[in-house]
Amino acid sequence: MSRLVIVSNRVAIPTRRGGAEGGLATGLLEALRPHGGLWFGWNGRLAEVIPAAPALETGGDIVFALTPLTRREFEGYYVGFANRCLWPVFHAQLHLMHYDATALGIYLEVSRRWAETLIPLLHPEDVIWVHDYHLIPLGRALREKGVRAPIGFFLHTPFLGVDLLRALPGQTHLIEKLLAYDLIGFQTPLDCQSFYRALGFFLPEAHREPGGIRYAGRLTRVESFPIGINVEEVAHLARSGRNNRHGRRLETSLTGRRLILGIDRLDYSKGLANRFRAYEQLLERWPEFQRRVVLLQIAPLSRTEVPEYDEIRRELNTIVGDIHARYAEYDWLPLRYMTRGFPRSTILGFLRQAEVGFITPLRDGMNLVAKEYVASQDPEAPGVLVLSSLSGAAQELEEALIVNPYDTEQMAAALAQALGMGLEERRARFQAMMERLGRQDIHRWIASFRDALAATTHAVSGD
Ligand code: F6P
């Protein structure tokens, strides 16, 4: 089997205490674990001078090749273009988009530099799998420097409609760069459809053929590969986390109150303001739940260098304060809101303890926490998932209570429905979702992408 080379902005080296944190990182580690390989990306640090060769670290059969960013790269590539421009556009938050031509230039430069740094590490039989919106131009940069290996790209975020992309300066060039890949993977069939529509609009000279898209003498295959989870591992960690020190402390602190739980990075795309407002409406319209429920929202700080993340943080602090001022009692705090993180097994243990998983992003490529909520449940007494219709996961987890994350009344009603749902219905919904999660797990995601990428080598007609 050829060696797998993964390139992503973040590289998460597993710590001794547990796996790498976060969905993307966990998924990529699973991809490399069985046969080893190379994982190239940012070491998370800034340096004044970039060493010519990346630092190599080894973990089992995996070699991690890490490079720092200069401050200019960090501000232009990571903060500026990837997270202040592409991220809000890809999550339909145009009012938060900040375009800066210099940042775009640095974004393109980083891909060119990474291509140069990666090439000396490549073996002739490698297949290369590039991840996410940070690195769209990397495939083209590698091709321009003569790399002929199969190169695939997977977008973890949503790919949205033409109307949004029209607002993104330079969108045609970015789309064209995507066509340097042999395979483009999206999370859902809807994302694929949006991509085809975008091609028709911005790049009509690209031809759709049965095997993919023909453009500039090469064929690019486009498919959806919904990312999954390691179902058995999640269930196992959730069982142990349920009874660890934190799990027991949470249980004791609830004093029999029913737990509604949300877990998200603190990101404006996660819909936390609407989620808190919806919970407030639950307490208002169904006063019988006052004193009987607790919403625990764990939202670890994220991208604190991006100003818009500071704004959402302040907004949430205000909303939480409002809700406390209105409903808190001297012996009951309706909403517990924390911005620190916990080890993975503790989080999964908390999910197992929650009667309702409340996951309502305004947009999300997939949302693996939704899947983890289901897999962490006790099959004998599973909880209920309330899930945003605008997450990729909603296209698979149909038996969740699907809500529009902009409709706070509907979300409040779904919470009330979830809290009132009988055991039989909860079990039936849980079982249906578990079957699907088992069929579309992380191993299937990896194998299907790798197989599809390997198959493109026969279809490529030249660079
Ligand atoms: O899942 C989307 C994603 O942007 C990943 O690519 C990334 O690793 C994760 O969110 C966390 O964001 P960041 O790397 O900016 O901290």
Q: Note the pLDDT tens digit of each residue in 55-68.
A: 999 999 999 999 99
Q: Give the model's pLDDT for residue 326.
A: 98
Q: Active site includes 156? A: yes
Q: Write down the pLDDT at residue 462.
A: 41
Average pLDDT across the chain, whole number? 95
Distance of CA 157 from the midpoint of ligand 1 (Å): 10
133 CA → ligand 1 middle, Å: 10
Mean pLDDT of 190-214: 96
Task: Pinpoint the alpha helices (H) of 378-441.
Answer: 408-420, 423-439
Measured from the CB, is residue 24 less than 6 Å from ligand 1? yes
User: Of residues 126, 131, 156, 191, which has the active-site annotation?
Assistant: 156
Say if residue 364's pLDDT is above 80: yes
**Given this model, what pLDDT does residue 271 score?**
98
Mean pLDDT of all residues in 179-188: 98
443 in catalytic set: no
Å from CA of 304 to ligand 1 middle? 13
Query: Is residue 168 lining ligand 1, measured as CB closer than 6 Å?
Result: no
Q: What is the pLDDT of residue 16?
A: 47
CB of 363 within 6 A of ligand 1: the answer is no
All structural domains of the chain, each given as residue ranges with its CATH number in brackets, are 4-228+443-454 (3.40.50.2000), 231-439 (3.40.50.2000)
Mutate to test the pocket of ligand 1, among 10, 28, 135 (most ligand atoms within 8 A of CB): 10
CB 347 within 8 A of CB 263: yes
Question: pLDDT tens digit string along 245-294?
Answer: 999 999 999 999 999 999 999 999 999 999 999 999 999 999 999 999 99
Whether 96 and 88 have beta carbons less than 8 Å apart is answered as yes
Q: For residue 366, which amino acid is it?
A: M
Identify the band that residue 27 occupies on the pLDDT scale cut at 50, 70 and 90: confident
Give pLDDT tens digits for 226-250: 999 999 999 999 999 999 999 999 9
What does the alpha-carbon distance between residue 85 and residue 83 come to, in Å, rounded to a whole number? 6
Q: Which of 132, 134, 153 to mutate to test ligand 1, by most ligand atoms within 8 A of the CB atom?
A: 132
Q: Is the Cβ atom of 303 under 6 angstroms away from ligand 1?
A: yes
What global pTM score does this model have?
Answer: 0.96
pLDDT at position 126, please?
96
What distance in Å separates the CA atoms of residue 340 and residue 74, rounded to the nearest whole number? 24
Rounded CA separation 276/102 (Å): 37
SS (H, E, C) 42-104: EEEEECCCCCCCCEEEEECCEEEEEEEECHHHHHHHHHHHHHHHHHHHHCCCHHHCCCCHHHH
CB 143 within 8 A of CB 463: yes
Q: Is 10 in the pocket of ligand 1 (CB under 6 A)?
A: yes
Residue 21 has pLDDT above 80, yes or no: no
Among protein residues, the one whose CA lies closest to atom 8 of ligand 1:
10
pLDDT at 279: 98
What is the residue with the minimal CA distance to atom 5 of ligand 1? 24
Dist. CA 77 → ligand 1 center (Å): 14
What pLDDT digit, counting tens, does each position of 146-174 carry? Answer: 999 999 999 999 999 999 999 999 999 99
Percent of the chain exceeding pLDDT 90 equals 93
